[in-house]
Amino acid sequence: MKCIILAAAGAVAISAGLMSAHAAPTNISQSECTKLWQEANPSGADGLTKAQSAPYILDFKAANPDGDATIDVNEWNAACKKGLVTSASSSGASSGTTGEDVVPNPKEHAPTNRMDKMVPPMVPPEKEAQ
């Protein structure tokens, strides 16, 4: 019984460690922090709302310790030091190509099944008459 409890506790500790390692914040330089503040706040407002800061702030609540509706420049700089600010370009959105300009390789062959016979083209089933 003790082995099961210890194994379960170990599994929880390991998964918690992996989760915290996966979500580890990355600190950015003060110059990058200032650049991102100016990028996020082009109008020069006193603060940013949650929606305005969303592309940059990983955790609005943690970056906004006074709990008001905006993050001011001091809170922004503190959030940078805590690793809560990230570049909007690192949001996961891709700026890559669509693949429309890819030319097929003539040396590639058409898909085959296990018997080396051509796979028939996919044709949608006909709609039933109602």
CB atoms within 10 A of CB 16: 10
Tell me the residue range of the domain where 80 lies.
24-87
Residue 37 lies in a domain: yes
Residue 56 lies in a domain: yes
Q: Which residue has the higher pLDDT, 46 or 93?
A: 46
Say whether pTM exceeds 0.75: no
2-52 confidence digits (pLDDT tens): 545 544 554 544 544 444 333 445 678 899 999 999 999 999 999 999 999
Long-range contacts of 72-76 (CB under 8 A, 24+ apart): 72/46, 72/47, 73/37, 73/47, 75/47, 76/33, 76/37, 76/48
**Cα–Cα distance, 32 to 38 (Å, whole number):** 10
Q: Where are the beta strands (DSSP E) in the chain?
A: 47-49, 70-72
Residue 9 lies in a domain: no
